[in-house]
Amino acid sequence: AAGVIQSPRHLIKEKRETATLKCYPIPRHDTVYWYQQGPGQDPQFLISFYEKMQSDKGSIPDRFSAQQFSDYHSELNMSSLELGDSALYFCASSLRVSGPYTFGSGTRLTVV
Amino acid sequence: KNEVEQSPQNLTAQEGEFITINCSYSVGISALHWLQQHPGGGIVSLFMLSSGKKKHGRLIATINIQEKHSSLHITASHPRDSAVYICAVRSVAGGATNKLIFGTGTLLAVQP
């Protein structure tokens, strides 16, 4: 069965560079969530989209932006990267806001 | 005080033992998730509960909405069960029903 696909799996960037992370939800899922998990920390909610509109916003820095496209995939754009942005970024999708989550395997971002 | 608390934080068991991990939460929820994360890996959703009990293979999850408490049980534990188990709730506070609030996780090590 198709799962939530994230790309890339690993990414190394230098400080002040930009990065784009992609998330492809399960087919027919219309809701996407982004979470950030720093080393040894709990995942923190960043932002979510339902039907291509932002549905909720968490602790997402102003340097980050995200959107959901017509095919329901989502991209997280990160600019002016800082060392503290190094983390595992994972997305999840669901059918409507109330549906069960399916998680992607995550993108591990390392900022050097 | 965290809104979602798990116990124990660390658990070491011998292969074959019955394991229980507990989760207590202080917010109103629409659902509770039990998740599994292997070191450095992505997150796998084990259960989503809103009431009662669910069973999948050797895993059993229960929830008591009145007491705001859930338990995850693993029967006949095996070394491959070694992972971090995370309780996460879908809060209804402020009308936001889609983002998850994560517990701090329970690191389980099952020794052969």
Residue A19 confidence (pLDDT):
98
Residue A25 confidence (pLDDT):
96
Burial A26-63 (b: 16+ CB within 10 A, else e): beebbbbbbbbbeeeebbbbbbbbbeeeebbeeebeee
Residues of chain A with pLDDT under 70: 1
Measured between beta carbons, which residues in chain B are less than 8 angstroms from residue A50?
98
CB contact under 8 Å between A58 and B99, yes or no, is yes
Measured between beta carbons, which residues in chain A are less than 8 angstroms from residue B41?
105-106
Measured between beta carbons, which residues in chain B are less than 8 angstroms from residue A88?
42
- The pLDDT tens digits of the residues spanning B5-30 come to 999 999 999 999 999 999 999 988 88
CB contact under 8 Å between A48 and B98, yes or no, is yes
Q: What is the DSSP secondary structure assignment for residue A58, as one 8-state letter?
A: -
pLDDT band at B52; cut points 50, 70, 90: very high
Residue A46 confidence (pLDDT):
94
Q: What percent of chain B has pLDDT over 90?
A: 71
